[in-house]
Amino acid sequence: MSNTFYVTTPIYYVNDLPHIGHAYTTVAADVLARFYRYAGREVFFLTGTDEHGQKVERAAEAAGETPIQLADRVVERFKTLWVKLNISNDDFIRTTQERHVKAASRFFETIQEHGDIYLGMYEDWYCTPCESFWTEQQLDNGKCPDCGRDVHKLQEESYFFRMSAYQQPLLDYLEANPAFVRPVSRYNELVSFVRGGLKDLSISRTTFSWGIPVPGNPKHVIYVWFDALLNYISALGYPDDMERFNHFWPANVHLIGKDILRFHAVYWPTFLMAAGLTPPRQVFAHGWWTIEGKKMSKSLRNVVDPYRLVDLYGVDPLRYFLLREVPFGQDGDYSDEAIIHRINSDLANDLGNLLNRSVGMLDKYFKGRLAEPTDLTDLEVGIRELTETTYRQIKSAFEEIAFHHVLSAIWRLISRLNKYIDETAPWTLFKDPDMHPRLMTVMATVFEGIRHISQMIYPFMPESAGKMRAQLHLPPITPPYSQLSKDYTWGQMRPDETITRGAPLFPRINA
Ligand code: MSP
């Protein structure tokens, strides 16, 4: 199997400021990227912005700007947010960049030369905010089935992609790759959608001009979804640098929200097939966040601003909350109470307290100095075994992209360590000098456990992992991760290491 790991987020529209939904996917992708880098894979993590199309053109008009001025302004809001959220993307693609425009034009031409693009007339119901055409049957009480807004009849000359020719190849691909779409329920939905028939797809527009011109017919601009999906390959250097492209392609996973599954799991693989390229390995559709039970919308004024959440709660607690609160793939609900509860119970009480009390005890009993453990009992062996089991669980939960399972496995180990301290009662051992070697064994076991926890939480909470490790006088986890196999092995805390107490990792939040 290839050692590379290519993960993407959707590219975000620049007509809107970043919100919690954007932060969600990007944090999830970052956690995968960090986990696989630490596991020794060569990771390429891509995010970016979707800057063409009528939606952006209209938003710019409303703001009294040109589309590129709007894009240049909003893209900074995304980039700054990713820095603030500690996102480790390897590249950031904008669809207005030369490299992308060139790749998209070449891709269009390639399919055209292959005979899968033709000029025709298109007429149907069109939803402008969604940039989607709908058939009469697809409308929901005469409204757009995606957003519920008004649609209007639109007729235009258009280039069509012969998607109908790819119905069977796509079904074959789906059958041969049962993990192509996750969660499983979405895979099943998708298979029945494709069985229902694929029509040719209109892939150009003449009613506005903010887009990539169709090669050889600049009256048309390329449909924004055709343009946008290509970001996943233009960022790899397609078509000029096919060596680099082939190194990372096919993508291991495109992380997306459930609303854009059809684009990624029907349009995208068929475009690729038409160009003679392999479809991505997996498309994972996560659920949507509601806000205190309500749909997030500008009109309800309940849009959750991730900048505000970072300022209020801190970057790691937010990253943790997003991936712990809701099973990845399901819908979830955001509320201030929910995040405060997670911070106080999981972070402050369980993890923060484990570190704090352990450092305090070592400080008091041995002036902060660790020594080799001696005479292990079943308890210590059990902790070591649980740590090893936890790594295995983490690995398989990551393969399923089940972040909540990764985290609950880590928290089982944290609880076990807290319980181990209660069971061994270091404060009692300390009273009897004959028991001091036993006390040192307990302390060494606890700190070895904490070292592993710092490694396990690292993809989710890189900053806190670093702070924990600083207290343990361990180096931060940074590339090139050459210590990997050693890090995962039990018994790496150096004897005679001095531990220094730091500020509490996760202060409690008073609601
Ligand atoms: N530009 C397209 C994607 C092109 S990818 C080739 C787009 N952009 S978007 O900015 O509108 O949406 C980006 C992502 O945000 C989508 O995956 C969408 O599911 C996600 N979310 C929007 N609102 C959301 C929530 N309330 N909750 C979770 N994710 C949400 O679509």
pLDDT of residue 137: 86
Residue 494 CB: number of other CB atoms within 10 A?
Answer: 10
pLDDT of residue 495: 67
Distance of CA 71 to the CA centre of its chain: 23
> Ligand 1 centre from 101 Cα, in Å?
22
What pTM was computed for the model?
Answer: 0.95
Q: What percent of the chain has pLDDT over 90?
A: 85
Residue 345 CB: number of other CB atoms within 10 A?
Answer: 11
Residue range 78-103, pLDDT digits in tens: 999 999 999 999 999 999 999 999 99
pLDDT of residue 422: 98
pLDDT of residue 482: 52
- Helix, strand, or coil here: 450? helix
164: left (phi over 0), alpha (psi -120 to 50) or beta: alpha
Mean pLDDT across the stretch 324-330? 97
pLDDT of residue 488: 85
Whose tokens are 């233009």? That residue is 234
* 501: pLDDT strictly greater than 90: no
Ligand 1 pocket check for 280: Cβ under 6 Å: no
Write out the two tokens for 505. Answer: 């990792």
Residue range 116-170, pLDDT digits in tens: 999 999 888 988 887 777 888 889 999 998 889 999 998 889 999 999 999 999 9
Across the strands, what pairs with 43? 5
Atom 30 (ligand 1) nearest CA = 21
Residue range 432-441, pLDDT digits in tens: 999 999 999 9
Ligand 1 pocket check for 256: Cβ under 6 Å: yes
CATH second-level architecture of 335-487?
Orthogonal Bundle (1.10)
Atom 27 (ligand 1) nearest CA = 288
Residue range 461-486, pLDDT digits in tens: 999 999 999 999 988 888 766 555 67
Ligand 1 pocket check for 233: Cβ under 6 Å: no
pLDDT of residue 1: 63
Mean pLDDT across the stretch 347-361? 97
Whose tokens are 């109470």? That residue is 337
Residue range 5-38, pLDDT digits in tens: 999 999 999 998 999 999 999 999 999 999 999 9
> Ligand 1 centre from 436 Cα, in Å?
57
> Ligand 1 centre from 176 Cα, in Å?
28
How far is the C-alpha of 330 from the C-alpha of 328, rounded, in Å? 6
What is the amino acid identity at position 492? Q
**Residue 80 and residue 17 in contact, taking contact as beta carbons nearer than 8 Å:** no
Residues whose CB is less than 8 angstroms from the CB of residue 380 and which lie 6 or more positions away in sequence, other chains included: 373, 441, 445
Residue range 31-58, pLDDT digits in tens: 999 999 998 899 999 999 999 999 999 9
* 193: pLDDT strictly greater than 80: yes
How far is the C-alpha of 452 from the C-alpha of 450, rounded, in Å? 5
Mean pLDDT across the stretch 352-356? 97
> Ligand 1 centre from 257 Cα, in Å?
6
> Ligand 1 centre from 99 Cα, in Å?
23
* 295: pLDDT strictly greater than 80: yes
How far is the C-alpha of 41 from the C-alpha of 44, rounded, in Å? 9
Q: For strand 217-222 and strand 204-205, is the pairing parallel, antiparallel, or unpaired?
A: antiparallel
Residue range 375-403, pLDDT digits in tens: 999 999 999 999 999 999 999 999 999 99
Q: What are the residue boundaries of the structural domains of the chain, listed by start?
A: 335-487
Atom 12 (ligand 1) nearest CA = 12
The mean pLDDT of the chain is 95
Instruction: Determine the length of the chain.
Output: 511
- DSSP code for 63: T
Ligand 1 pocket check for 227: Cβ under 6 Å: no
Confidence band (pLDDT; 50, 70, 90) for 347?
very high
